[in-house]
Amino acid sequence: MKAKFQEYKGLDLSQVNKDVLKAWEKNDTFHKSLSTRKGHPAYVFYEGPPSANGIPGIHHVMARSIKDIFCRYKTQKGFLVERKAGWDTHGLPVELGVEKMLGITKEDIGTKISIEEYNNACKKEVMKYTDLWEDLTHKMGYWVDMEHPYITYDNRYIETLWHLLQKLYEKDLLYKGKTIQPFSPAAGTGLSTHELNQPGCYRDVKDTTAVAQFKVIRNERSDTLFKEVDTDLFILAWTTTPWTLPSNTALAVGQNIKYLKVRTFNPYGGEPISVILAKDRLEAYFPSANTGLALEDFKVGDKKIPFKILSEHSGSELAGVRYEQLFPWVKPEGDAFRVVTGDFVTTEDGTGVVHIAPTFGADDDRVAKVSGIAPLILRDKNRGIEPMVDRQGRFYRIDDLDPKFVQEHINVDLYKEFAGRFVKNEYDSNLTDADTSLDVDLAVSLKQQNRVFRIEKHVHSYPHCWRTDKPVLYYPLDSWFIRTTALKERMLALNETINWKPQSTGTGRFGKWLENLVDWNLSRSRFWGTPLPIWVTEDRSEMICIGSVAQMKTECEKSVKAGFMTKNPLEKYSEGDFSEKNYNSFDLHRPFVDNIVLVSPTGKKMVRELDLIDVWFDSGAMPYAQVHYPFEHKGDFNQAFPADFIAEGVDQTRGWFFTLHAISTMLFDSVSFKNIISNGLVLDKNGNKMSKRLGNAVDPFEVIEKYGSDPLRWYMITNSQPWDNLKFDIEGVDEVKRKFFGTLYNTYSFFALYANIDGFTYSEAEIPVSERPEIDRWVISLLNTLIQEVEDAYESYEPTRAGRAIQDFVSEHLSNWYVRLNRRRFWGGEISNDKIAAYQTLYTCLETVSQLAAPIAPFFTDQLFIDLNRISGKHKDDSVHLSTYPKYNTALIDKDLEEKMEIAQSISSMVLGLRRKVSIKVRQPLSKIMVPILDENFRRQLSAIEHLILSEVNVKELQYLTDTSGVLVKKIKPNFKELGPRFGKSMKAISTAVAEMTQADISKLEREGKFSLNLPEGSIEIVVKDVEILSEDVPGWLVANEGKFTVALDVTVSEVLRNEGIARELINRIQNIRKETGFDVTDKINIKILRHSEINKAVEIHRNYIASQTLANEIELVDLEPQGSVANIEIDTDVITAIKVDKIGV
């Protein structure tokens, strides 16, 4: 007995998922996909390391699907695609999670809990959700080696990082400096600029702002400013951060900006004052509506404040003017309280004067240093120089300061009220937004002293920590930096060689980031991470950067000999042994490396710089560290570098993408990846960010369990381009399951059913395509075009285009057209060459589709491929993922045939649309359609597929119209969306010209695809898409236009046509009864139909036709309702009868 194609009772993609996973495990399919490609060219892929201390979400399915698609595709193309998983295990996310779990803060580490205990907790906690990640990866079908992942806390991984840092050090690209850097008090560490530029870090906040009054000191330099001034003179400066005002030591003006001196009154106390502000900002503070108000008429409490302009000055005239300290709490150590010029001063907002606090702003620090202005600093108990705000985000407590400094420099009476206050309420767990902020209290204090001109709430964008969600401060930090600016131009040049998808991310978001590059702040003042491998002497005259464990062991031996250490902590380490056991004999984390004391070449003690390095350096170094380069794989490293492809979310643009690019450029003068897809965000169906708090998060495990992975992957990839944000709607997943997978399943089920009946196994001799019917040659042509198009899409890293092309082929062409029009070739009758050709054609389409769609939908396509191949034996591969990507045959592509069939499909679609418009069912025959002939080629093509159209739309005749005049009347109007952007001001003239086009003009435009319009300003050419062409209906006819096609349908139903329509309706109902009753497709039947005046004649006339279509021996009209199992059916509105169907031989 011949083997049969597998038949199923229904489509259960969730069960398919499970069954295929079992088969992959049993057959070790993933590893076979590697072993079968050994010796083939490599396709290099890098996996960006996620952190396993968080639960994976639906957005991870998107990112991992994209990666999987191209790895699977390239495997099909014959490449060896190694895929190594990785875990990002260091950094703030882990530390903050552990602090929360242990109920401690950063300050408790080293006191309440040792650094060793803390780091052990981090090491354990970081892999907390590994099982969930592996489970999702497994269930969604993402093939990646999770048995041998790279782990960033591994000593071998860290050793590579140290090597890279040493190379940067040797190139003079690693240095230490004190600069103003983003600092997160909540996290207790500085941040790099790329961390600060993660999506969502900048957000709008409403803060108290103040326009402070800085009192000008009258002296020889400022004397000219006091001309005509009979009050105190102030310079106005606006700030959104009043907490920085006590640290003010300068005011910056624009050298060429014009400033006005204005006589007015303080809006709060009513004191007469004179103020200086930018001329361009006058209206913002002194509305022109108040110009006529007399100064002498002003009364305290008036809402309208009078003013008088006294004089105008340039910014350069104000430079050098001195003013009184606004908050005289701390005496600065150097020159201060002077007006300087700055190139960053604008008149877009504020007063055109910038308050300068050198300790809290990069521009402030720069202009102060250039101008010789001292920052306002404090000295802690170790006499260390500190800004006024400590690392917890509060004004320094007096008890934490050097007593001598307090005595000599601090006005304790004034400062004590504010000492210890947090500058942001968010830093104090006891405060809420409802509590009065420090900004408010400082503004009130100024108000009481007549030192503020305006206090108001203001919405502005403010940076927040990417992990704590708390505000960031700009803070003077001693940090180690990578001198990325030294290679900025090279980074820009190499970036231009990368294929970015979308390109706009590479040239825009990423390119602009590189153009504005600053040096990379590498230091992190934390505990769990990669230690900076730099040891220095106390006087900082000697320094060493360690680049390997072997070097460290050697240096430790020297230290032991010098008496700085009693034993070598690396004595058990054996150089050249790269085993896990050897590398677990020590630990390169804190506190162990902190305890290592080295000796300098001159015999001085050297201790380690306590900083850790930025966790983004860990991930950016993964191309090298994942293979323990250069300690291992030095000889073959270039075979795995750079990557051919990477993919992650757009939030990695200034994170992982940047650090990959920066390290590879600085150390290898190379890109680290050649092609990249930066996918967008996955939002809820309303476009909102998903979160558990909002209750709109989608559990990927639940979706996969219910629908299977294939519909989820297919939906996410085909709904929109990967780089666009996806508004995730679970209904879309269900729709994909029904419309695409349901259609593909039904097409296979149709094939399997009739192939099994006829015993087709593809062992039959191949019918040459050239000898097959035209409909077969058409679908084979379209299939080869599809192979070509999908391959081009995959090669271009455009999976959406690939998926949509496959979907369109399956739904619109294979199922809705080829199978439907060829059903009779599969039904009944003996096996023949024509039937074999139909089977071979449909088999080839199904098999090819399984291979083309396999990268996107790996489960169902594998089942489909195996079900087909198990019987045909055409492939030796036991999985579609081991098969070779199909090759298109240009000799089988017939574009003329494809065009003809497209005409047939388009016209059929238009006619069916007209039928729906007047609710005439397709089973009701109609008499005629008319189609205007565009040209002779169109006539030839239409003639060749006329029979298909008539059969498809159930119309008797197609009439060719060479002259539509007097038959069809067309209207035309401009398409403003197309024309407007191109012609703008000429649109009025174009509208007039289009309205004047004759019927002949419209026909010419449709025929030739273009038409010249004569306008007053000259001639322009329009094309079909530039206009909308509509046809008026004529009596008894309906007319439709679509592109260049027009069709008219005669909707008159004669009695003859109506009887035939009733016969077709009866056939449909009888076939449904056969199916519902469970009859086999070959079973013969007898039919009894209850007489009805509306159907009797139709049955009598079309008795033989009904019998042939339903395999009926007898059809009998009866006067009484038949006995037994009877079906009541509705043939038309209010036309109901009863039918009994009996299987012969029962």
- Cβ-in-10-Å burial (0-12, 13-18, 19+) of 977 comes to exposed
- Region for residue 451 given its phi and psi (left: phi exceeds 0; alpha: psi -120 to 50; beta: otherwise): alpha
- What pLDDT, on the 0 to 100 scale, is given for residue 983? 85
**Summary mean pLDDT of the chain:** 91
Q: How many CB atoms lie within 10 A of CB 345?
A: 22
- Stretch among 563-577, 935-949, 1023-1037 having the lowest mean pLDDT: 1023-1037
- The torsion of the CA quartet 196, 197, 203, 208, rounded to 10 degrees, works out to 50
| pLDDT tens sequence across 181-192 | 888 887 777 776
Of 639, 947, 1016, the C-alpha closest to 773 is: 947
Q: What is the pLDDT of residue 468?
A: 79
Question: Which of 324, 307, 335 shows the shortest CA–CA distance to 213?
Answer: 324
Neighbour-count burial for 166-183, b at 16+ CB within 10 Å, e otherwise: bbbbeeebbebeebbbbb
689 part of the active site: yes
Which pLDDT belongs to residue 682? 87
Catalytic residue, from 68, 88, 614, 618: name it.
Answer: 88
Give the pLDDT of residue 363.
84
1033 vs 223 pLDDT, higher one:
223
pLDDT tens track for 314-345 = 999 999 999 999 999 999 988 999 999 998 89
**1080-1129 pLDDT per residue, tens:** 888 899 998 989 888 899 889 999 999 999 999 999 888 888 777 788 88
Mean pLDDT value of segment 71-89 = 95
Q: Are 1068 and 1105 in contact (CB under 8 A)?
A: no
User: pLDDT digits over 815-862, tens only?
Assistant: 989 998 888 888 877 889 999 999 999 999 999 999 999 999 999 999
The neighbour count for residue 540, using CB atoms within 10 Å, is 8
Contact between 155 and 586 under an 8 Å Cβ cutoff? The reply is: yes
| Cα 637 from chain centroid (whole Å) | 31
The encoded tokens of residue 372 equal 């010789």
Contacts 24+ apart (CB under 8 A), 111-120: 114/591, 115/527, 115/590, 115/591, 115/594, 116/591, 116/592, 118/527, 118/528, 119/527, 119/528, 119/589, 119/590, 119/591
Set 227, 567, 692, 895: catalytic member = 692
- Residue 560 reports pLDDT greater than 90: yes
Predicted local distance difference test score (pLDDT) of residue 45 = 97
Residues in Cβ contact with 866 at an 8 Å cutoff, skipping those fewer than 6 apart: 23, 878, 879, 880
Task: Assess contact for 560 and 569: CB atoms under 8 A.
Answer: no
d(CA 192, CA 500): 24
Considering the chain, tell me which residue range(s) the CATH 3.90.740.10 domain(s) occupy: 204-375+433-455
Which has the minimum average pLDDT: 5-14, 609-618, 779-788, 1119-1128?
1119-1128
Residues of the chain with pLDDT > 90, as a percent, come to 64
Architecture per CATH, domain 727-893, reads as: Orthogonal Bundle (1.10)
Residue ranges, comma separated, of all CATH 1.10.730.10 domains in the chain are 727-893
The CATH classification of domain 1055-1143, taken from the options 3.40.50, 3.40.1630, 3.30.2320, 3.55.40: 3.30.2320
Q: Quick one: which H or E segment has residue 3? A: none
- The yes-or-no verdict on residue 971 having pLDDT over 60 is yes
- pLDDT classification of 477: cutoffs 50, 70, 90: confident
d(CA 45, CA 75): 12
In this prediction, residue 463 carries a pLDDT of 82
Please say if 238 is a catalytic residue. Answer: no
The alpha carbon of residue 1035 and the mean position of all alpha carbons in its chain are separated, in whole angstroms, by 54
Q: Please count the CA atoms within 13 angstroms of the CA of 1006 that sit on its side-chain side.
A: 28
In what helix (H) or strand (E) does residue 917 lie, and over which residues does it extend? helix 895-917
Closest CA to 199 of 426, 474, 459, 463: 463
Residue 473 has pLDDT above 60, yes or no: yes
Catalytic residue among 24, 238, 513, 616: 616
For domain 969-1033, the CATH architecture is 2-Layer Sandwich (3.30)
Q: What is the band of 1007 on the pLDDT scale with cuts at 50, 70, 90?
A: confident
Q: How does 450-478 read in b/e, with b if 16+ C-beta sit within 10 Å? A: bbbbbbeeeeeebbbbbbbebbbbbbbbb
The mean pLDDT of 508-537, rounded to a whole number, is 91
Does residue 510 surpass a pLDDT of 70?
A: yes
Query: CA 565 to CA 606: how far, in whole Å?
Result: 11
Q: What is the DSSP string of 1030-1048?
A: EEE--TTEEEEEETTEEEE
Q: In the prediction, which pLDDT does 435 show? A: 85
Instruction: Give the Cβ contact number of residue 398 at 10 Å.
Output: 15
864-890, pLDDT tens digit by residue? 999 999 999 999 999 999 999 999 999
Euclidean distance between CA atoms 67 and 678, whole angstroms = 11
Question: Is 364 a residue of the active site?
Answer: no
Q: Is 49 in the active site?
A: yes
pLDDT at 777 over 60: yes
- Quote the pLDDT of residue 980: 84
pLDDT score recorded for residue 683: 86
Specify the residue for token string 């008219």.
1048
Residues 6+ apart with CB under 8 A from 406: 398, 412
Statement: residue 62 has pLDDT above 80:
yes
pLDDT at position 150 = 95
- Is the pLDDT higher at 139 or at 1? 139
Taking alpha carbons only, the member of 254, 273, 278 closest to residue 263 is: 273
How many Å apart are CA 248 and CA 245, to the nearest integer?
5
**Distance between CA atoms of 476 and 335, rounded to whole angstroms?**
19
**Higher pLDDT pick, 81 / 1014:** 81
pLDDT given at position 1126: 82
Neighbours of 978 (CB within 10 A): 15
pLDDT average, residue stretch 659-674: 97
676-702 mean pLDDT: 86
What is the Cα–Cα distance from 613 to 91, expressed in whole angstroms? 9
Cα 1028 from Cα 1026, distance rounded (Å): 7
* Active-site hit among 87, 133, 528, 656: 656
Q: Where in the sequence of the chain do the CATH 3.30.2320 domains occur?
A: 1055-1143
Q: Cβ distance 384 to 336 under 8 Å?
A: no
Helix (H/G/I), strand (E/B), else coil: 901: helix
Domain 204-375+433-455, CATH homologous superfamily name and number? Valyl/Leucyl/Isoleucyl-tRNA synthetase, editing domain (3.90.740.10)
Catalytic, 692? Answer yes
Nearest alpha carbon to residue 453 among 295, 319, 281, 255: 281
- Residue 791 pLDDT exceeds 90: yes
Which of 689, 971, 1004, 1084 is catalytic? The answer is 689
Task: Report residue 997 CA to chain centroid gap.
Answer: 47
